[in-house]
């Protein structure tokens, strides 16, 4: 087997091939006529609202936006957006979106999924979509519970969690979705809170503009089966001690007065400490464009299941050729080299003729 | 040396031998998996094709890439049947068996009829190799092979001798012995040789020394026949009188891949094959990946489910989505096929059946996925099914499947099998101008029944019941579809009981009403036959050959073959009821018979065999004869 120089395409932005419009759009235009049927107080409402107000800012033709979802509460999302949409089957949205994005570079393709959909039944498709760097944007609604099936633990539930299927407490070790995505060498990985409209809009915008797979983990509250899972990040005093905002080019620090910060450990990992003890010069300056995934991975490990420290924002944002751009380039190259002559293909080289 | 090369380098025979004219011959090349028997058989087939014979082939090889050398499980064989008339099968038994080692002899000798020709590579008949496969004495030295015409040829030694002057080491030289065997057989049957030499030069273009060595070995085999006088007879099989036209040799998997390329061209749609490698379907991926210039994208997914998912996603975007697999893969794809049924989107699902259940017999043929194709999904989830009846028919099956998928907006299953996939036969090359126009009309305008100016995705063509297909990117037609039940017309989620009942029946009616050609019965007796032999899929050849034999014995028998398994032809019920006996041979435990009994209340006779190999014509001949003689009351 030999490797071939693929003559890599030079597209930079995720929306480079998607038709734009100059006409101003309103959030209202993105609302479908379907009655939204999530439970009262569900975090999904807030995310839907944010997405409906954010989409008009992209200036895309609305008909060139597609939302594909799997199964779960969050996967009802496409029904409520007045774009093209498909509510598919459990865990498979990344695979379906892969086929769509590969054949239709003129579309902005979004996947809406949850912790069960993306990380349990669809885990395989998720990691492969990320490693291939397909030009799709994945919104992973993480509520750490199975909602639609009424309250079983999920692959992000904390150990010991008592649920309908774990009356004595869960003995499962959860995934850290950001770590998982980075392990799959995702080129864009971010995290946001459902209630943080500004923060969510910021990462969604960057995700949309990213060429390749982008995954955004959204902490989302399930008021029925896992209420208050993220309350510590929403309480003003608590949040300041726990949320670590990641801003490119800035030292990583947090706390009400910025009194905490992130510094390196001896073995190359990161740890949290008081800036007064670390020293300002020893704070890590955030750079999501570092090619080695080890950097962003180490950042993702600062966070833990108890949300004591929770980095939010963009962990990693690097350029790498996308599968779909390269696959289409091969088709174009083949077309240029050899036009489609069907009769010649069918006839082949070795023939014989029978005369009547 | 009495062999001469003519002007263009081709070999020609000059020694006077007795020439025996035959109408057909079956040759089986058998050796170790590493001996190159598939290539040898394939080349001999190409020579027969170039000569203008009708032909059919049966490759038979182990699932292991290199099973332990010299053992029975490691035996690989390739049978080719060529004739001066139109033949239907690769042949029940070989007339000539080429055995490259004791294991190949032991595994195949039972199939060689008395007086059959046996050519053995004596070099491999060492004590060690004989012991390995349980021969207590050397069969070449005792009288156990006395029923056959045995030709003992020291192929390894002769090949090494022929290559002594080349730069190849002894071991590498010995590996060319398959070309020696091919050369010898080519001489025996007066085969044209230019094609093989050209093939070797092209195949080893980057390794000219290997190309030269193989050609030398090939010529040495030819010369051996020509000079040694141990072969007193050579054989001629004249070209076949097939229907006029230009032919090529083709395997089922290649024909299927070409059919997909052609369908994409005729529909003017890009093609996306989403697939995962699996025996015996992988060659469809290999072939299609070569034809990107026709706008064909091949996506080797992380698993079977992602393969069909990507294909369905591509269909949603207006491409021709195709997925290819074998039975185990269909099991994994079932849920997505169901989604395709619900979304009512075109999708081509190719199942190249193999022995099962579970991993079963990956390299052997079977047709036991029929009920899986029919019913292997949750709930009422009907899809059309088309089964090609021979390797070349796979092309037409792919075109027809695409036509149905696009016209009726539905997943369509193509049920091929290992015998079709790897077998080959002459193919009357179609005229591209005469292929059907498969272009699709996509929705461009709002269509709401209430005049609201909206687009309703489940508005239907009153005749085909196909829903409107609006592609993402079409202004003003934004809509959402999904796996949840939807209201007829509007397409919004609906849990209404009456609507669900209506939609279940509607989806069924859409498939039931697909226009498929009437079943054609072949009965040369002009209607005297009281027994109908009815089959489907790759058993067309053996059933047809058996019917010919029965008729030759003076007994009328009718034959019909189902290509459309769902929906079945509209005239099938009348045909079934018009015979005293209907016998249905299948390589399963009676799945079509079960369907026919259930649907038509006709007491069809099921004849089944699930041995991983195609039926033999002789076997079916006896089955049909028995039924005619013992059970039909003459009127």
Q: What is the pLDDT of residues A257-302, one digit of tens each?
A: 999 999 999 888 999 999 999 999 999 999 999 999 999 999 999 9
Residue B4 has pLDDT above 60, yes or no: no
Residue A175 has pLDDT above 50, yes or no: yes
- For the stretch A221-266, pLDDT in tens is 999 999 999 999 999 999 999 999 999 999 999 999 999 999 999 8
CB contact under 8 A, B293 and A61: no
Mean pLDDT, residues B421-448 taken together: 97
- For the stretch B131-163, pLDDT in tens is 999 999 999 999 999 999 999 999 999 999 999
Banded pLDDT at A4 (limits 50, 70, 90): low
Q: Give pLDDT, residue B182.
A: 97
Residue in the structure block whose two tokens are 């196909």: B466
| C-alpha distances in Å from residue B47, one per residue of A60, A294, B19, B423 | 59, 59, 19, 16
Nearest by CB: B472 against A96, A107, A352: A107
Q: Give pLDDT, residue B2.
A: 36
Q: Cβ of A266 under 8 Å from any chain B Cβ?
A: no
Nearest by CB: B335 against A89, A339, A342: A89
Q: Give pLDDT, residue B634.
A: 54
Helices (H) and strands (E) in chain A, counts: 11, 12
> Is the peptide bond prior to B280 cis by the omega test (within 30 degrees of 0)?
yes
Banded pLDDT at A305 (limits 50, 70, 90): confident
Which residues in B lie closer than 8 A to residue A328 (C-beta atoms)? 297
Q: Cβ of A100 under 8 Å from any chain B Cβ?
A: yes
Alpha helices in A67-214 (DSSP H): 93-103, 115-116, 123-132, 177-183, 197-209
Q: Give pLDDT, residue A277.
A: 97
* Residues 69-98, chain A, touching B (beta carbon < 8 A): 69, 71, 78-79, 81-89, 92, 94-98
Q: Give pLDDT, residue B66.
A: 78
CB contact under 8 A, B480 and A347: no
Nearest by CB: A64 against B246, B293, B472: B472
Nearest by CB: B295 against A82, A125, A331: A331
Rg (CA), chain A: 23
Residue of B nearest to A85 (CA): B480
* Residues 304-323, chain B, touching A (beta carbon < 8 A): 305-307, 309-319, 321
Residue A304 has pLDDT above 50, yes or no: yes
Q: Cβ of A168 under 8 Å from any chain B Cβ?
A: no
Whole-angstrom Cα distance, residue B238 to residue B245? Answer: 17
Banded pLDDT at B425 (limits 50, 70, 90): very high
CB contact under 8 A, A334 and B292: yes
Residue B9 has pLDDT above 70, yes or no: no
- For the stretch A179-223, pLDDT in tens is 999 999 999 999 999 999 999 999 999 999 999 999 999 999 999
Whole-angstrom Cα distance, residue A38 to residue A58? Answer: 26
Whole-angstrom Cα distance, residue A245 to residue A257? Answer: 13
Query: Closest Cα of chain A to B90: distance in Å?
Result: 20
- For the stretch B238-283, pLDDT in tens is 999 889 999 999 999 999 999 999 999 999 999 999 999 999 999 9
Q: Give pLDDT, residue A266.
A: 84
What is the longest distance spanned by two Cα atoms in chain A?
97
Mean pLDDT, residues B366-385 taken together: 98
Percent of chain B with pLDDT over 90: 91
CB contact under 8 A, A92 and B336: yes
- For the stretch A39-90, pLDDT in tens is 999 999 999 999 999 999 999 999 999 999 999 999 999 999 999 999 999 9
Mean pLDDT, residues B460-477 taken together: 97
CB contact under 8 A, B272 and A78: no
Residue of B nearest to A90 (CA): B335
Q: Cβ of A340 under 8 Å from any chain B Cβ?
A: yes
Whole-angstrom Cα distance, residue A311 to residue B410? Answer: 47
Residue of B nearest to A340 (CA): B294
Contact in structure between B302 and B351 (CB atoms under 8 Å): no
* Strand-pair category, A188-193 with A310-317: antiparallel
Token code pair at residue B160: 């090494």
Q: Cβ of A4 under 8 Å from any chain B Cβ?
A: no
Nearest by CB: B313 against A96, A338, A343: A96
Q: Which stretches does DSSP call E strand in B472-580?
A: 480-482, 531-536, 558-562, 564-566
Mean pLDDT, residues B522-540 taken together: 97
Helix A43-54 with A197-209: angle, nearest 10 deg: 50
Residues 6+ apart with CB under 8 A from A277: none
CB contact under 8 A, A350 and B432: no
SS3 content of chain A, % helix, strand, coil (to 5): 35, 20, 45
Banded pLDDT at B3 (limits 50, 70, 90): very low
Residue in the structure block whose two tokens are 């038994």: B93
CB contact under 8 A, A335 and B478: no
| Lowest-confidence segment of B216-230, B334-348, B390-404, B533-547 by average pLDDT | B216-230
Token code pair at residue A215: 């995954």
Nearest by CB: B475 against A34, A63, A66: A63
| C-alpha distances in Å from residue A163, one per residue of A39, A42, A121, A151, A233 | 19, 19, 19, 6, 22
Provide ipTM, 2 decimals.
Answer: 0.96
CB contact under 8 A, A107 and B484: no
Secondary structure (DSSP) of A1-15:
------------BTT
Contact in structure between A192 and A206 (CB atoms under 8 Å): no
Mean pLDDT, residues B173-184 taken together: 96
* Residues 390-429, chain B, touching A (beta carbon < 8 A): 429
Q: Give pLDDT, residue B13.
A: 63
| C-alpha distances in Å from residue B621, one per residue of B24, B25, B587 | 19, 20, 16
- For the stretch B38-68, pLDDT in tens is 999 999 999 999 899 999 999 998 888 878 8
The overall average pLDDT reported for chain A is: 95
Q: Cβ of A354 under 8 Å from any chain B Cβ?
A: yes
Q: Cβ of B448 under 8 Å from any chain A Cβ?
A: no
Banded pLDDT at B426 (limits 50, 70, 90): very high
Banded pLDDT at B499 (limits 50, 70, 90): very high
Selection from A187, A161, A192 nearest residue A174 by Cα: A161
Residue of B nearest to A341 (CA): B294
Q: Give pLDDT, residue B187.
A: 95
Token code pair at residue B397: 């099956």
Residue B10 has pLDDT above 70, yes or no: no
Model pTM?
A: 0.93
Contact in structure between B600 and B573 (CB atoms under 8 Å): yes
Residue A5 has pLDDT above 70, yes or no: no
Banded pLDDT at B8 (limits 50, 70, 90): very low
Residue A174 has pLDDT above 50, yes or no: yes
Secondary structure (DSSP) of B43-71:
HHHHHHHHHT-EEEEEEE--SSSSPSTTS
Nearest by CB: B483 against A83, A88, A342: A88
Q: Give pLDDT, residue B144.
A: 93
Residue of A nearest to B45 (CA): A350
CB contact under 8 A, A102 and B314: yes
């Amino acid at each position: 087997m030999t490797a071939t120089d693929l003559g890599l395409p030079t597209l930079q932005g995720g929306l480079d091939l998607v038709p734009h419009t100059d006409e101003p759009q309103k959030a209202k235009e993105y609302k479908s006529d379907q009655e939204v049927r999530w439970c009262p107080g569900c975090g999904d409402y807030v995310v839907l609202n944010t997405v409906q107000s954010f989409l008009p800012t992209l200036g895309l033709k609305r008909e060139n936006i597609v939302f594909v979802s799997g199964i779960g509460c969050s996967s009802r999302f496409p029904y409520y957006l007045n774009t093209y949409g498909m509510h598919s089957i459990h865990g498979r949205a990344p695979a379906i979106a892969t086929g769509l994005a590969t054949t239709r570079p003129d579309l902005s393709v979004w996947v809406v999924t949850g912790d069960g959909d993306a990380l349990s039944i669809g885990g395989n498709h998720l990691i492969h979509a990320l490693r291939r760097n397909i030009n799709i944007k994945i919104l992973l609604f993480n509520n750490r519970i199975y909602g639609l099936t009424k309250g079983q633990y999920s692959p992000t539930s904390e150990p010991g969690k008592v649920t309908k299927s774990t009356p004595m407490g869960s003995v499962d070790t959860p995934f850290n979705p950001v770590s998982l995505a980075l392990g799959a060498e995702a080129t864009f990985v971010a995290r946001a809170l459902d209630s943080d409209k500004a923060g969510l809009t910021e990462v969604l915008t960057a995700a949309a503009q990213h060429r390749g797979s982008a995954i955004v983990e959204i902490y989302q509250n399930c008021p029925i089966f896992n209420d208050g899972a993220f309350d510590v990040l929403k309480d003003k005093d608590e949040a300041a001690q726990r949320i670590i905002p990641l801003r490119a080019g800035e030292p990583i620090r947090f706390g009400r007065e910025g009194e905490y910060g992130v510094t390196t450990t001896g073995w190359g990992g990161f740890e949290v400490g008081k800036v007064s003890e670390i020293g300002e010069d020893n704070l890590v300056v955030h750079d999501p464009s570092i090619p080695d995934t080890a950097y962003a991975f180490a950042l993702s490990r600062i966070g833990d299941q108890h949300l004591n420290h929770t980095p939010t924002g963009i962990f990693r944002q690097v350029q790498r050729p996308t599968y779909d751009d390269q696959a289409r380039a091969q088709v174009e190259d083949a077309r240029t080299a050899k036009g489609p002559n069907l009769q010649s293909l069918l006839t082949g080289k070795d023939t014989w003729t029978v005369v009547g | 040396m009495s062999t001469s090369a003519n002007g263009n380098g081709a070999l020609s025979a000059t020694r006077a031998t007795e020439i025996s004219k035959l109408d057909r011959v079956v040759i089986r090349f058998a050796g170790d998996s590493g001996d190159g028997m598939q290539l040898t058989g394939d080349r001999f087939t190409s020579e027969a094709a170039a000569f203008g014979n009708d032909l059919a082939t049966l490759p038979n090889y182990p699932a292991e890439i290199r099973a332990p050398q010299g053992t029975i499980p490691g035996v690989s064989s390739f049978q080719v049947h060529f004739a001066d008339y139109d033949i239907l099968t690769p042949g029940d038994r070989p007339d000539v068996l080429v055995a490259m080692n004791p294991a190949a002899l032991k595994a195949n000798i039972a199939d060689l009829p008395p007086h059959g020709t046996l050519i053995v590579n004596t070099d491999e008949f060492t004590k060690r190799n004989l012991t390995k496969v349980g021969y207590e004495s050397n069969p070449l030295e005792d009288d156990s092979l006395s029923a056959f015409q045995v030709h003992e040829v020291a192929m390894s030694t002769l090949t090494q001798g022929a290559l002594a002057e080349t730069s190849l080491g002894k071991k590498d030289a010995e590996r060319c012995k398959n070309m020696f065997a091919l050369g010898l057989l080519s001489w025996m049957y007066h085969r044209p040789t230019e094609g093989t030499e050209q093939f070797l030069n092209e195949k080893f273009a980057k390794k000219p020394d290997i190309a030269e060595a193989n050609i030398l070995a090939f010529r040495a085999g030819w010369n051996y026949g020509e000079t040694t006088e141990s072969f007193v007879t050579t054989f001629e099989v004249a070209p076949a009188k097939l229907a006029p036209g230009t032919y090529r040799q083709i395997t089922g998997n290649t024909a299927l891949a070409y059919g997909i390329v052609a369908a994409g061209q005729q529909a003017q749609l890009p093609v996306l094959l989403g697939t995962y490698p699996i025996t015996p379907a992988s060659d469809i991926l290999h072939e299609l990946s070569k034809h990107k210039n026709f706008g064909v994208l091949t996506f080797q997914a992380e698993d079977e489910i992602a393969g069909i998912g990507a294909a369905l996603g591509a269909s949603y975007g207006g491409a021709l989505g195709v997925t290819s697999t074998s039975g185990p893969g269909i099991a994994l794809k079932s849920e997505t096929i169901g989604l395709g049924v619900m979304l009512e989107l075109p999708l081509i699902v190719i199942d190249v059946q193999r022995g099962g259940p579970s991993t079963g017999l990956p390299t052997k043929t079977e047709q036991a996925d029929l009920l899986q194709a029919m019913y292997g999904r949750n709930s009422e989830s009907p899809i059309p099914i088309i089964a090609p009846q021979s390797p070349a028919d796979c092309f037409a099956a792919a075109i027809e499947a695409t036509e149905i998928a696009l016209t009726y907006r539905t997943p369509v299953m193509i049920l091929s099998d290992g015998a079709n996939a790897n077998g080959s036969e002459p193919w009357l090359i179609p005229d591209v101008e005469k292929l059907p126009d498969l272009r699709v009309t996509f929705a461009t305008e709002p269509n709401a029944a209430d005049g609201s100016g909206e687009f309703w995705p489940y508005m239907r063509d009153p005749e085909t019941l196909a829903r409107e297909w609006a592609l993402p990117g079409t202004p003003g037609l934004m809509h959402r579809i999904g796996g949840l039940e939807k209201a007829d017309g509007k397409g919004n989620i609906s849990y209404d009981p009456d609507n669900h009942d209506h939609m279940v029946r509607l989806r069924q009616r859409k498939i039931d009403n697909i226009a498929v050609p009437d079943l054609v019965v072949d009965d040369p007796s002009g209607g005297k036959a009281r027994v109908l032999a009815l089959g489907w899929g790759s058993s067309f050849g053996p059933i047809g050959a058996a019917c010919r034999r029965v008729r030759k014995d003076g007994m009328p028998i009718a034959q019909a073959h189902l290509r459309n398994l769902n929906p079945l032809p509209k005239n099938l019920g009348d045909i079934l009821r018009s015979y005293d006996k209907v016998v249905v041979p299948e390589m399963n435990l009676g799945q079509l018979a079960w369907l026919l009994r259930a649907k038509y209340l006709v007491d069809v006779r099921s004849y089944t065999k699930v041995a991983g190999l195609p039926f033999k014509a002789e076997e079916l001949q006896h089955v049909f004869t028995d039924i005619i003689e013992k059970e039909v009351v003459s009127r």
